[in-house]
Structure 1
Amino acid sequence: MDEKPTLDLQKKSILFVDFNGVISYDPFWLSLTKPNHPLHKYYQKIENFLWGTDQQLLQDWMMGKYTSEEIHQIMEAKIGIPAKEILAVLRQDCARLDVSQKILNKLQDLKNTFHRILRTDNMDTFRRWTLPKHPEIEDAFDEIHCSYDLGSLKKDKGGIYYKKVASERGVALENCFLIDDSKSSCQLFESLGGKAFNTQTEQEVLDALDNLICQNFSREC
């Protein structure tokens, strides 16, 4: 986001799309969820620690304050995981992350009418290991914004991110749309004046995209 991209004058709307829970539904350390994995016993420890005991550490990781290596070293010291081995699993899982080709393909149908921005609260893992193995993600968007690079989360300061991005690109928030699996993120976005689709499944995302396609091409749906 260092340089403001030139917005095609034909694109009078911005579509923000979340990543986890929208385009991909795989959890972190997916391999460890399998009972027969030799490191399976550490999965729940990690879940309880990052999503329970120390959520601030998780947020700091997503805001670029720690690398994946540093996070695993911290977890090794605090909950006794084998950092090197668990990090190797994460690296491999992020590279093999399952993404919805159906959703990415449909996003291409909006490329002439929407400025498409992938906005994810994510870690360094996203650019280091996921995107290099999934170039089709970058092909489906005009911009990719990750909290790790921005140093802030989507809902920080009342959603100032959305206001700033829309303003810099000369688009009113009333002409901005969000697809996100977080209800609170959608509520915040709509309080700013935008329109949100709170989705929970791949089909709901596809339906939301169809809705936008119909609106912009005056099709009957």
Structure 2
Amino acid sequence: MKPVLFCDFDGVLCFDRYWRSLPLDKYEQVQDFIFRNDKTLVNDWMRGHYSAEEINKKVAEKVGVPYDELWDLFVEDCRTMTVSREILGRLNNLRDRFIVMLITGNMDSFSRFTHPSLDLDKYFDHISNSFHEGMHKTDNDGELFLKYVEKYNVPIKNCIVLDDSNNVCKVFAHLGGTAYLVTSDKSLEFYLNNL
């Protein structure tokens, strides 16, 4: 059986942000509110406890932007995220040697707007989003990774993860897989050149 090549989305394939079209001061307020200070809200959203509509209502109240205006901007930002078609093509070409799987800690908005607008199903054998899984990659010592290696009946020692999270890489390596930490010095392209 082919090994699984797990690939992260944010910080590995894509560097665009939600709400990036807001004026800078409002954008920074959103980043502080959702992603920088108390991360409980974003983690709960990524585990499926909130919808994008519920989060945008909270954000609209927090930063003082009308909900309908914020929602339209948010959806458009989700739909217009960019990923290198060349990189997607290279991942697709690896499907003869690997089960290529996108595994992302993400929100319902990814599945509803980003995933379809980028036609990601064309490039990956499977797409796993924490929102639908109800857990992050590191929860329960990497339970999500084990779920998929068992599904595909392949030893984890033959599998690879490409992720920008040091914690994810540590968990995956502890399980016995090969972890490649994607950084500005060692990009996804660097690792793809060496697979």
Q: Which residue number corresponds to residue 199 of structure 1?
A: 182
Task: Give how far 1:55 is off.
Answer: 1.1
Question: TM-score, normalising length from structure 1?
Answer: 0.83
Structure 1 CA distance for aligned equivalents of residues 194 and 25 of structure 2? 43
Q: Which residue number corresponds to residue 6 of structure 2?
A: 16
Structure 1 CA distance for aligned equivalents of residues 117 and 178 of structure 2? 32
The structure 2 residue matched to 1:185, chosen from 155, 168, 172, is 168
Structure 2 CA distance for aligned equivalents of residues 92 and 30 of structure 1? 10
Q: Which residue number corresponds to residue 55 of structure 1?
A: 39
Contact kept, 8 Å, 1:100 with 1:202, in 2: the verdict is no
Q: Which residue number corresponds to residue 101 of structure 1?
A: 85
Sort the Cα spacing of 1:145 and 1:118 in 2 relative to 1 into closer, same or farther, 3 A. same
- The amino acid of 2:75's aligned partner reads R
- Do structure 1's residue 149 and structure 2's residue 139 form an aligned pair? no
Task: Give how far 1:183 is off.
Answer: 1.2
The structure 1 residue matched to 2:19, chosen from 29, 35, 38, is 29
User: Deviating runs (4+, > 4 A) in structure 1?
Assistant: none
The share of aligned pairs that are identical, in percent, is: 35
Q: CA RMSD in A?
A: 1.7
**Structure with max Cα Rg:** 1
Map residues 82-97 of structure 1 onto 2, 5 A cutoff: 82-97=66-81
Task: Give how far 1:202 is off.
Answer: 9.4
Q: Which residue number corresponds to residue 114 of structure 2?
A: 130
Task: Give how far 1:72 is off.
Answer: 1.4
Task: Give how far 1:166 is off.
Answer: 0.7
- The amino acid of 2:110's aligned partner reads F
Structure 2 CA distance for aligned equivalents of residues 161 and 90 of structure 1? 28
- The amino acid of 1:103's aligned partner reads I
Contact kept, 8 Å, 1:121 with 1:153, in 2: the verdict is yes
Contact kept, 8 Å, 1:181 with 1:199, in 2: the verdict is yes
Question: TM-score, normalising length from structure 2?
Answer: 0.93
Q: Which residue number corresponds to residue 114 of structure 1?
A: 98
Sort the Cα spacing of 1:210 and 1:53 in 2 relative to 1 into closer, same or farther, 3 A. closer
Count of matched residue positions in the alignment of Structure 1 and Structure 2 = 195
Structure 1 unaligned segments of length 5 or more: list them: 1-8, 33-38, 213-221
